[in-house]
Amino acid sequence: MNVRTVERSSRRTHLLLGAAVLGALLLAATDGATAELRKLRMGAGSSVLSPILAHSTVGQALGYYEEEGIDLEIVVAQGSAADMQQLLSRQVDVSSATPGFLMKSALKAGSPDVLTIGTFVNRIHWRVAVNPNSPLQTIADLRGKRIGALSLGDSSYLGIRAMLQEVGINPDADATLAITGFGAPSAIALRDGRIDAFAAYNGPFASLENLGFRFRYLPLTPGAEKLFGPGYAMRRDFLTENRALAAHFLRAVYKGVVFTLHNPEAAVRIHMALYPESRPKGKTEDEALREMVRIVEARMDKWRVDDMPVKKFGYGYKDRWEAYARFEGIADKAGDVTRFYTNDLIDEANNFRQEDVIRQAREMTPDRVSQLLARRRH
């Protein structure tokens, strides 16, 4: 399957005919009757469709998007900044967006043309790694040190800058930030001492650990611990014209979250089949599965809502948005943060029987995954 992928499955419509005419009930299942699906383009916020996105891709095979009348197309981008640009330039209709990039983009434009319609990472996902035997113990110890980062467009780059500032370190004068990129080169640079620390989010670190690299993670600063991760953002005008579509999209995604939480292995099997390019190269099936499950599990606890004040997926909290604005140093400019997000869709987005999805996940054995994918191919 290409990176740009479209779910084009047929919906069966069951028609009851005949009681008044023949005095009997005839059930006709019409294979040719296909409900019209609405195309929706989603920005993925990543240059490759990593298994960390399995919660949003499983619904393509399980029919979650189709049930909501959606024909989903996923469009990749290199990081949060590029993803936001795709949204602002109307290349995509909905996009993954971190609160920091969303607020800064809105303030730069002079008005909040985009807003978060639902969160999906409820706890901050950044990490700052050092070598296991490094003498560095806290973020404050990074004064005068060399710190690698994924890219200027990744939210973890803004995160490490803000954490340094929080502990009194000027990131432009009192430390050296270097873009070392994704993958093994950053881990090798850390191992070989060319950088003293490496800032990224949990997905790349899980991938690097799969390659055999070992890290020790510094505690995040108190300000960072109050934060949360990406949500789904839309342009305000698109949301106004497509409110029902937005709610249906979120519901399909949150079904995928519930499924993945209760059977990450099945979610990874489905994701690998839909996006074979995401599979690690040179690995057996079992090795690839094990490594990709580890990547998903590194993110899963960030999705949970059972310990949140509101037990609903996607809910936004004013105090947490305010904390994010303070952390980024834009509180005065941001003003009323409620203009950057909405909870208006959350009740509809959570209007599904979680127990049904949980049961489906628990019953999704490897054989059933194979059968599901075989039916989808035909």
pLDDT digits 0-9 by tens, 217-248: 999 999 888 889 889 999 999 999 999 999 99
List CB contacts of 86: < 8 A, sequence separation 6 or more. 43, 75, 77, 92, 95
Domain annotation for the chain: domains and CATH numbers: 5-122+230-377 (3.40.190.10), 126-225 (3.40.190.10)
pLDDT(19) > 50: no
pLDDT(102) > 60: yes
* Helices 54-62, 264-274: inter-axial angle, 10-degree rounding: 80
Decide which of 178 and 45 is more confident.
178
Cα 6 to chain center, whole Å?
18
CA distance 301 to 319: 21
CA distance 94 to 316: 17
pLDDT(28) > 50: no
| Tens-digit pLDDT profile for residues 322-351 | 999 998 889 999 999 999 999 999 999 999
| Of 17-26, 300-309, 334-343, highest mean pLDDT | 334-343
pLDDT(188) > 70: yes
Amino acid at 9: S
Q: Are 133 and 107 in contact (CB under 8 A)?
A: no
Q: Which pLDDT belongs to residue 124?
A: 84
pLDDT(22) > 80: no
At residue 75, the 3 state secondary structure works out as: strand
Among 30-39, 72-81, 235-244, 361-370, where is mean pLDDT lowest?
Answer: 30-39
Q: Which pLDDT belongs to residue 4?
A: 44
CA distance 23 to 57: 46
Residues 145-168, mean pLDDT to the nearest whole number: 89
Task: Give me the half-sphere count of Cα atoms (radius 13 Å) on the Cβ side of residue 55.
Answer: 26
Q: Are 78 and 260 in contact (CB under 8 A)?
A: no
CA distance 300 to 189: 28
Decide which of 329 and 24 is more confident.
329
CA distance 48 to 182: 11
CA-to-CA separations, 224 to 103, 170, 202, in angstroms, rounded:
16, 17, 14
- Please report where in the chains the tokens 């890219």 appear, as a residue: 151
Task: Give me the half-sphere count of Cα atoms (radius 13 Å) on the Cβ side of residue 89.
Answer: 8
% of residues, the chain, pLDDT over 90? 58
pLDDT(35) > 80: no
